[in-house]
């Protein structure tokens, strides 16, 4: 049986090319449908598909608006990078709405279309279904979100500036700067997908230790 789950995302940037990125699903929290997705649930389907998935408009298979280019699990959820096909009229319309949402700070939604392979009832609350393995079929851009914890990171520009700073001001080699930027972004965004807030005191030591190790290599 095919199912869907929808997650809100707040966009701070949508590329003119139609590319966007963020979280199509998050782990560990109970959504409004009474389900929780466990980490590792997407592992097999991502291995099988290589992350190449159709991007639809409201789960309508007759309205494909692009492709997903990359998908991976991390500690927070299912990170995806998709691209709207701007030669398709419906994709151009969706792109315009996404850019408008960016301009006014509004939220749209990403919704995954999937088939449950393995699930079980939560041990502490049997009303909650834990999704252990999911066959991901597609995901869609939708109007109304369901899971309040997912979000588009859309911080590519900030990450690129950080990488440039690490290379020019800190003297790191290009590969070191890329690795450091990725790891620093992970530390600084642990509280939210688009939250590049100053780090808590316990993170300062982690950042200093990271940069010291990179300089020594």
Domain total in the chain: 2
Mean pLDDT of 69-90: 92
Q: Are 118 and 62 within one domain?
A: yes
Q: Are 121 and 200 within one domain?
A: no
Q: What is the pLDDT of residues 153-177, one digit of tens each?
A: 333 445 555 666 677 667 777 778 7
Q: Are 138 and 176 within one domain?
A: no
Asked if the structure places residue 147 within a domain, the reply is: no
CB atoms inside a 10 Å sphere around CB 48: 9
Asked if the structure places residue 150 within a domain, the reply is: no
Q: Are 102 and 7 within one domain?
A: yes
Contact by Cβ (8 Å): 49, 68: no
Q: Are 31 and 126 within one domain?
A: yes
Asked if the structure places residue 99 within a domain, the reply is: yes
Q: Are 128 and 176 within one domain?
A: no
Asked if the structure places residue 67 within a domain, the reply is: yes
Q: Are 135 and 192 within one domain?
A: no
Greater pLDDT, 187 or 123: 123
pTM of the predicted structure, to 2 decimals:
0.63
DSSP letters, 61-114, are EEEEEEEEEEEEE-SSEEEEEEEE-TTSHHHHHHHHHHHHHHHHT-EEEEEEEE
Q: Are 98 and 128 within one domain?
A: yes
- Mean of per-residue pLDDT scores for the chain: 77
Taking 50 as the threshold, does the pLDDT of residue 192 lie above it?
no
Lowest mean pLDDT among 33-37, 153-157, 186-190: 153-157
Range of the domain at 169: 156-216
The 3-state DSSP class for residue 18 equals coil
The 3-state DSSP class for residue 170 equals coil
Q: Are 122 and 175 within one domain?
A: no
Asked if the structure places residue 149 within a domain, the reply is: no
Taking 80 as the threshold, does the pLDDT of residue 209 lie above it?
no
Q: Are 45 and 129 within one domain?
A: yes
Q: What is the pLDDT of residues 107-128, one digit of tens each?
A: 777 888 999 999 999 999 988 9
Q: Are 92 and 135 within one domain?
A: yes
- Dmax over Cα atoms in the chain, in whole Å? 54
């Amino acid at each position: 049986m095919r199912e869907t789950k929808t997650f809100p995302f707040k966009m701070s940037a949508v590329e003119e090319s139609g590319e966007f990125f963020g979280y199509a699903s998050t782990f560990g929290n109970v959504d409004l449908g009474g389900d929780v997705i466990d980490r590792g649930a997407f592992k097999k389907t991502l291995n099988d598909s290589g992350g190449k998935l159709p991007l639809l408009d409201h789960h309508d298979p007759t309205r494909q608006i692009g492709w997903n280019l990359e998908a991976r699990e991390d500690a927070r959820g299912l990170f995806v990078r998709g691209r709207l096909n701007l030669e398709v009229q419906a994709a151009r319309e969706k792109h315009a709405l996404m850019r408008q949402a960016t301009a006014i700070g509004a939220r749209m939604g990403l919704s995954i279309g999937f088939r449950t392979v393995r699930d079980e009832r939560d041990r502490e609350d049997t009303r909650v279904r834990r999704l252990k393995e999911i066959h991901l079929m597609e995901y869609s851009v939708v109007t109304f979100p369901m899971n309040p914890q997912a979000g588009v990171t859309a911080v590519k520009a900030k990450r690129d500036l950080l990488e440039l700073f690490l290379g020019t001001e800190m003297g790191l080699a290009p590969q070191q700067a890329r690795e450091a930027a990725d790891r620093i972004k992970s530390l600084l965004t642990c509280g939210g997908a688009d939250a590049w807030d100053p780090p808590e005191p316990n993170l300062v030591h982690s950042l200093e230790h990271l940069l010291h190790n990179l300089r020594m290599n």
